Structure 1
Amino acid sequence: MIGCNRGRWIGLMLATLLGVGGCATYADLPLGSGAGVTGVARLSAPTSEMPLPAWSTHRFDPADGLDATEVAMLAVANSPQLRLKRDELGIARAQAFAAGLLPDPQLSVSADVPRRSGAGLVTAYSLGLSEDIGALLTRSSRRAAARDQASQVNLDLLWAEWQTVAQARLLFDQVLNLRAQRGRLEREQQALATVGTYIRAALDAGNLTYDSASAGLNAEADVHKRLADTAVALHQVEGDLHQLLGLAPTAKLDLAGAPYLNQPTPSQVQAALDDLPRRRPDLLALQAGYQSQQAKLRSAILAQFPALNIGFNTARDTSAVYTNGLSIGITLPLFDRNRGNIAIERATRQQLHDDYAVRVLATRSDMQRITRDLATLDGQLATLTAHSQQLDQARASAERAWQAGSLDWPTYLAIRTNALSADLDLLTVQQERARQSIALEALLGNTDLVAAHPDAAKASTP
């Protein structure tokens, strides 16, 4: 009997040592320089890893410039902010793994050595093994909460990827639009240089006063200022695009092709509104977060019951008497009873419930507003396009008359100023229309993007 007990506990100790031997080890992870990638050629966008199935067939070749789709693909693959989101997903999955682990049993060992020797006296010992039963009771709820939390983070990543796609398309359009504005202003500056030379020559000859020449001088100065303001705005947008793609500020970025164009029909918008809670990744993420909180509340309610710890022990006293025993530890639910945690989890659930309702309402309102704005901008674009074409024809006619000497310079400058304002207004409205269109598509959510994501399909199932 003595040998059996001793062999059993020796085996238990060996199992414990073997478990400790499988512990994780530490490895250093040095910090990077944060300099960014110095060239687009060094970046990659694996089509097999793209969130949109349609991109798998798109040819990715930075050598001939980046079109709107290639910029969006690079943003999804290399955005530093998305890298952080993916790190958060790794943490959430690790937490889900930790929540599913069984609590380790507790092993206790003690020994009593007699202070005086005598016949029949031996060293006493006690060995015990116990387990927290309460942790086992709440394990399923904790696992469910952690799984739903990981699903929420995964859906948040999906939504962040779609927002990154929208941001890449918007920045692509803004860069092209500002470059077009810069080109238009540079052409205007070159045309006004001839008029400015004429005005300054007339001033030097005394044929023109400064009061009379102020309109021409101010027109030239105004174009110079607009060109500088456009250059500053272009630097900002190009810097934002470099940062989105994870590029160094000095990396060359060649853009090619037309801006991204999307025009959802009213029926598509209405269908998206009707199906909004089952297709928008951020709403699906809120649903998963709410389910996680439901599980946390259930776990807190289960934890209000008395904590129970059960153990078994074997002992030998100094007289060499062997005993086996059972120990039970129970928390008396007199004061705490986990009421504080239950109240916190219940209030948190209510907050998430209301947050979801607010998000859905805000999304529906934004979609309706943007739809109306797009209709207004379409009408404004048609008017401005016709107006700009008419003034461009007038400018070309005035330029020929000015060169022929049959038109005075104040009239010529007035016609050029009006034509420039119309062209810049048209470019501004085109950019605003593109911004609203991209924003609407982001609010609608992409069907292919959601359908291809397993957590989205799971969360959208009633």
Structure 2
Amino acid sequence: MAGRRRHTHGTGTVLSAAELFPPANLRHGGLVLLLLLLSGCVSYHPLPLRASLPAQTHADAQIAAALQHAHLPQRERLSINPSRPLSGEALGLIAVLLNPDLRAMRAQEGVAQAQVFAAGILPDPQLSLSADLPSNVAAGYYNAYNMALNWSLAALFTRPADLDIARAQARSVQYQVAWQEWMVANQVRILTRQLYYLEQQEALARRAAVTTQRLYRASQENLQAGDATITTATLRQIAWLDSQDRALALARQITKTRQDLNKLLGLPPEATLTLVPPRLGATPTDPAALVAKADHQRLDLLALRAGYQAQEARVRRSILGQYPGFSIGLTKAADTSNIHTLGPSVSLDLPLWNRNRGAIAVAEATRGQLHAEYGARLFQTRAEIYTLVADLQRLAAEIAPLAREVPQLQRAEERLRRAASERNVTLIDYESVRSQSLAKGLQLLALQQAYAEQQAALTMAVGSTWKGQP
């Protein structure tokens, strides 16, 4: 057969393609090559979605389980006891561990790290095989083949820029996730403070409702005995209904706030937690120093700066793309005349029209957009901090006189209550003092609640640690 012919030139002998690559050797070599390629492959493993939500356990059990598997310092872990009253700081830490949205968001960090890994991998070489099989083998033609091994060198020049992009983007993602954790933790602190003061207001309103109900019943008895007028009894009835409505409205707010808190904590809606009084710091006086502090430590600003660095690397990467990319290779071939060749090959892109100008324009425009977004975020941060500081100073000025006078009003109300029970003071005078004392007491608690919430909001706006209040 033509495929087995030997063709001699002088003293040398030239083997045909079939003799140079016998079928057995081709099978064994192909098998070895296939095994080598498959040895580095990753196998597929399915990851099915859960068909139902995880079972809801008691809040104490969920918190204890989260703390057991959390990587926390021993001191912080021991400071959180689910069976005891919890502070807003402890609940903020628990929210970071249990919140389902944060759990899903932390998966982005794994994606970002995988992108860093992918950016550092060099491209595989390309192997191309082809054959020309003449149909007229009787004419003395040989089977021709062509083998080429090519490798693109463009990735060698762009690999550092690709790694800079991926690493900066990974830092940005880490800061973004940390900022979301920080926001959730501080939102928990705000809700915790709101819930604590609402419970104090509801307890005060409930005691007032009990007192007004007792006065109303007494006035009803006096009306039947002829010792009171219907006007007095009706006023007592209205005061009792108002007190009851106030207590019920506060109870509804408590229920909604507790459900919002449990949602952030990842706890069942019906879970009930006992809270400790919030720790309030001093009223800030220098908003400019807080703005400088926020620019240095706020996680969202750090995320924007890392994202801007990633975009700077993209601009450099796109500029590198305007230069010609080339590949080198090695080609071995034999034609139908059984002439064998072996030589290098080079392929080069000619930058005539494209020159990556579109990618450069997009990268530079995106960089300008991120630059403007960072300036806008910094401007917003400054405005937010100045507003919160002004609100805290105003609230502190309103709280100070009430904090001095309300205890005196409450003591006076107690004395008048005893005097009214001994009929030394009219019920109308006592009711007037009692209602005003209740109103001022609720006003003081509402102002303290607003102050506590605004202070937690300022801590979040500045990005300060909880132990170092702004």
- TM superposition score category, shorter chain reference: 0.7 to 0.9
Residue aligning to 1:365: 383
Pick one of 418, 423, 427 that aligns with 1:400: 418
Kept after mapping to 2: 8 A contact 1:36/1:247: no
Query: After superposition, what is the alpha-carbon deviation per residue over 1:73-131, rounded to whole angstroms, capped at 9, x for unaligned?
Result: 21122222221221111111111111111112222112222223226443322221222
1:177-326 counterparts in 2 under 5 A? 177-201=197-221, 213-251=233-271, 253-263=272-282, 266=285, 271-326=289-344
SS in 2 for 1:63: coil
Q: Within 2, Cα distance between the matches of 1:172 and 1:35?
A: 26
Kept after mapping to 2: 8 A contact 1:169/1:260: no
Say whether residues 1:102 and 2:119 are aligned partners. no
Q: Within 2, Cα distance between the matches of 1:345 and 1:317?
A: 48
Q: Within 2, Cα distance between the matches of 1:211 and 1:5?
A: 120
Say whether residues 1:161 and 2:181 are aligned partners. yes
Instruction: Give the superposition deviation at 1:173.
Output: 1.4
Mean Cα deviation higher: 128-137 or 296-305: 128-137
Q: Within 1, Cα distance between the matches of 2:359 and 2:79?
A: 54
Instruction: Give the superposition deviation at 1:414.
Output: 2.4
Kept after mapping to 1: 8 A contact 2:141/2:336: yes
Pick one of 398, 421, 440 that aligns with 1:380: 398
Mean Cα deviation higher: 124-133 or 400-409: 400-409
> Measured at CA, do residues 112 and 204 of structure 1 come closer, stay the same or move farther in structure 2, by a change above 3 Å?
farther
Query: After superposition, what is the alpha-carbon deviation per residue over 1:5-30, rounded to whole angstroms, capped at 9, x for unaligned?
Result: 86899869845642333322223232
Pick one of 57, 61, 84 that aligns with 1:64: 84
Code of the residue aligned with 1:97 in structure 2: it is F
> Measured at CA, do residues 280 and 406 of structure 1 come closer, stay the same or move farther in structure 2, by a change above 3 Å?
same
Q: Within 2, Cα distance between the matches of 1:204 and 1:320?
A: 128
Say whether residues 1:21 and 2:39 are aligned partners. yes
Code of the residue aligned with 1:23 in structure 2: it is C
SS in 2 for 1:446: coil
SS in 1 for 2:48: coil
Instruction: Give the superposition deviation at 1:434.
Output: 0.7
Q: CA RMSD in A?
A: 3.2
> Measured at CA, do residues 211 and 125 of structure 1 come closer, stay the same or move farther in structure 2, by a change above 3 Å?
farther
Kept after mapping to 1: 8 A contact 2:326/2:348: yes
Structure 1, unaligned runs of 5 or more = 451-462
> Measured at CA, do residues 275 and 224 of structure 1 come closer, stay the same or move farther in structure 2, by a change above 3 Å?
closer
> Measured at CA, do residues 123 and 364 of structure 1 come closer, stay the same or move farther in structure 2, by a change above 3 Å?
same
Mean Cα deviation higher: 103-112 or 115-124: 115-124
TM-score, structure 2 length as denominator? 0.85
Residue aligning to 1:356: 374
Pick one of 109, 118, 134 that aligns with 1:89: 109
Instruction: Give the superposition deviation at 1:38.
Output: 2.0
Residue aligning to 2:50: 31
Instruction: Give the superposition deviation at 1:449.
Output: 10
Kept after mapping to 1: 8 A contact 2:86/2:275: yes
TM-score, structure 1 length as denominator? 0.86
Query: Which has the greater radius of gyration?
Result: 2
Kept after mapping to 2: 8 A contact 1:120/1:320: no
Q: Within 2, Cα distance between the matches of 1:104 and 1:209?
A: 99
Query: After superposition, what is the alpha-carbon deviation per residue over 1:380-429, rounded to whole angstroms, capped at 9, x for unaligned?
Result: 11111123223212321232233223434333332222111111111111
Q: Within 1, Cα distance between the matches of 2:246 and 2:20?
A: 92
1:78-157 counterparts in 2 under 5 A? 78-118=98-138, 120-157=140-177
Mean Cα deviation higher: 112-121 or 133-142: 112-121
Query: After superposition, what is the alpha-carbon deviation per residue over 1:121-161, rounded to whole angstroms, capped at 9, x for unaligned?
Result: 43322221222333332221111011000001111222223
Q: Within 2, Cα distance between the matches of 1:86 and 1:123?
A: 59
Q: Within 2, Cα distance between the matches of 1:449 and 1:326?
A: 67
Q: Within 2, Cα distance between the matches of 1:447 and 1:257?
A: 19
Mean Cα deviation higher: 227-236 or 362-371: 362-371
Code of the residue aligned with 2:67 in structure 1: it is A
Code of the residue aligned with 2:212 in structure 1: it is L
Q: Within 1, Cα distance between the matches of 2:373 and 2:36?
A: 48
Q: Within 2, Cα distance between the matches of 1:5 and 1:184?
A: 100
Q: Within 1, Cα distance between the matches of 2:85 and 2:274?
A: 5
Query: After superposition, what is the alpha-carbon deviation per residue over 1:295-324, rounded to whole angstroms, capped at 9, x for unaligned?
Result: 001111111223323332212223322222
Kept after mapping to 2: 8 A contact 1:216/1:410: no
Q: Within 2, Cα distance between the matches of 1:338 and 1:211?
A: 89
Structure 2, unaligned runs of 5 or more = 1-13
SS in 2 for 1:442: helix
> Measured at CA, do residues 366 and 385 of structure 1 come closer, stay the same or move farther in structure 2, by a change above 3 Å?
same
Code of the residue aligned with 1:155 in structure 2: it is Y
Kept after mapping to 2: 8 A contact 1:170/1:434: yes
Code of the residue aligned with 1:277 in structure 2: it is D
Q: Within 2, Cα distance between the matches of 1:175 and 1:59?
A: 21
SS in 1 for 2:322: coil
Code of the residue aligned with 1:311 in structure 2: it is G
Q: Within 1, Cα distance between the matches of 2:330 and 2:34?
A: 17
> Measured at CA, do residues 143 and 31 of structure 1 come closer, stay the same or move farther in structure 2, by a change above 3 Å?
same
SS in 1 for 2:198: helix
Q: Within 2, Cα distance between the matches of 1:186 and 1:397?
A: 20
User: Size of the alignment, in residue pairs?
Assistant: 446
> Measured at CA, do residues 16 and 305 of structure 1 come closer, stay the same or move farther in structure 2, by a change above 3 Å?
farther
